[in-house]
């Protein structure tokens, strides 16, 4: 009986699995990088460029994190309101 470590590389190296994966990841990564560059969010651009997460981090950025003002005061105000009980921020 073969173990999973031997089976998975054989399966995922086949073109019918590899090509859709590459298209999926390339599309979402390029869209997320484009949006991060457009907002001049250098830290997000670098993170999205270096981290390969099967497109999940890119999807989270595009549909959720992109809407937040991550570099401005709105984010800090949001965190202060949500963490009043814990007194994290002065």
Helices (H), 13-72: 15-38, 42-50, 56-63
Share of the chain above pLDDT 90, in %: 3
Q: What is the pTM assigned to this prediction?
A: 0.58
Residue 63 tokens, joined: 């549909």
Residues 9-49 have pLDDT tens digits of: 887 788 888 888 889 889 989 999 998 888 888 888 888 88
Whether residue 83 is predicted with pLDDT greater than 70 in this model: the reply is no
Q: Dihedral of the CA atoms 32, 38, 39, 44 (nearest 10)?
A: 40
Whether residue 90 is predicted with pLDDT greater than 60 in this model: the reply is no
Contact criterion met (CB below 8 Å) for 48 and 29: yes
- Model pLDDT, residue 63: 80
Tokens 């073969």 correspond to 2
Q: For the chain, what are the domain ranges?
A: 4-82
User: What is the widest separation between alpha-carbon atoms in the chain?
Assistant: 59
């Amino acid at each position: 009986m073969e173990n999973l470590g031997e089976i998975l590389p054989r399966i995922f190296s086949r073109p019918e699995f590899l090509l859709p994966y590459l298209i999926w990841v390339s599309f979402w990564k390029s869209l997320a990088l484009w949006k991060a560059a457009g907002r001049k969010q250098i830290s997000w651009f670098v993170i999205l460029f270096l981290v390969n997460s099967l497109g999940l981090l890119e999807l989270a950025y595009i549909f959720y994190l992109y809407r937040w003002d991550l570099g401005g005061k709105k984010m800090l105000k949001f965190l202060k309101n949500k963490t009043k009980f814990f007194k994290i921020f002065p």
